[in-house]
Structure 1
């Protein structure tokens, strides 16, 4: 037994040297080309809240929430379905959209950076924390909210809408519309669902 263990131990360095893996299935060039292709297309698919809500009335339209399941459960636009962005695959999207109109399904998307709560001093709604990077030392969400006015912008937005749009397009879904406004969650035109909404009733 000792001899076998010794032979295995001696063989390991050679195995490690011989083992060669192919490159990971990651291609920055492919993604860069896709981003370039999507740029102008997306610019024509940005809609106001009124248009977003009007389109949502169509039975072949799906409101897609790609935030985490935790945040979706906590609060989401009424009627939205959930598929975490990190779970996007061809099969997962096809299975979901098969319930509607396949690749022709009209998809409405939104993310954290579409909503604020103007009744709060920080402007933040816990369910929709603004995704933005600021230069310098770490800051609190409230600090980002204060810096988020159009004038004097000194932050970089990292909204989930953009990678969501790009990936949907890449997976063959082109009938996408993105909410383009920064909406107050207290606006009576829009309704929300989730545990936080139930707890307030």
Structure 2
């Protein structure tokens, strides 16, 4: 019987490795990645003034990973949009370019105190910055910097613009 060796092989595989789900999902790998990212991210949080100064440098990318609709309703001037659900190796390379060491600045809803469209505050542990930073880092983009404070999107220093 050919089924028996496969069944025995699956039973011998530790449950942690299987994660009892799709073989295309690696929760243990995600936990390892987040542990690696945590100290890096904590050193890469910048003030609004630092964020704006970095954004003004040549070849620096300001990436907004919110939905296309939220981006169109308002974003930091000069930002480009690639929604987090659309992150793949290919889509990131297309937006970021060929240089994986390119400096990337990120921000999300939870960087703004307004709590109104298009920056509705997310649950703190689910702030989009966290997932965006982890995903970019995991795809090999490690020159990441994150807006590390909460500001009013109506503050002229932010440079908020609307596409619609």
TM-score range, shorter chain: 0.7 to 0.9
How many residues matched? Answer: 144
Q: CA deviation at 1:187?
A: 1.5
Matched with 2:33 is 34
Residue 162 (structure 1) aligned to one of 114, 130, 134: 130
C-alpha separation in 2, matches of 1:34 and 1:157: 16
Matched with 2:62 is 63
1:30-81, Cα deviation, whole Å (9 max, x unpaired): 0000000001011110000000000000121010000000000111111100
C-alpha separation in 2, matches of 1:180 and 1:161: 10
TM-score (norm 2): 0.83
Deviates more, 1:179-188 or 1:163-172: 179-188
C-alpha separation in 1, matches of 2:154 and 2:87: 31
Partners of 2:66 and 2:83 within 8 A in 1: yes
TM-score (norm 1): 0.68
Matched with 1:130 is 121
Partners of 2:154 and 2:160 within 8 A in 1: no
Q: How does 1:99-138 map to 2 (within 5 A)?
A: 102-117=99-114, 124-132=115-123
Q: CA deviation at 1:186?
A: 2.1
Q: CA deviation at 1:191?
A: 1.0
Instruction: Indicate whether 1:53 and 2:52 are aligned.
Output: yes
1:132-166, Cα deviation, whole Å (9 max, x unpaired): 1xxxxxxxxxxxxxxxxxxxxxxx44200001000
C-alpha separation in 1, matches of 2:163 and 2:38: 36
Aligned to 2:63, the other structure's residue is in SS state strand
RMSD value, Cα: 1.5
Q: CA deviation at 1:125?
A: 2.6
Q: CA deviation at 1:96?
A: 1.3
Q: CA deviation at 1:192?
A: 1.5
Structure 2 alignment gaps of length 5 or more:
1-20
Q: How does 1:163-178 map to 2 (within 5 A)?
A: 163-178=131-146
Q: CA deviation at 1:190?
A: 1.5
Aligned to 2:78, the other structure's residue is in SS state coil
Partners of 1:72 and 1:82 within 8 A in 2: yes
Runs of 4+ residues over 2 Å off in structure 1: none
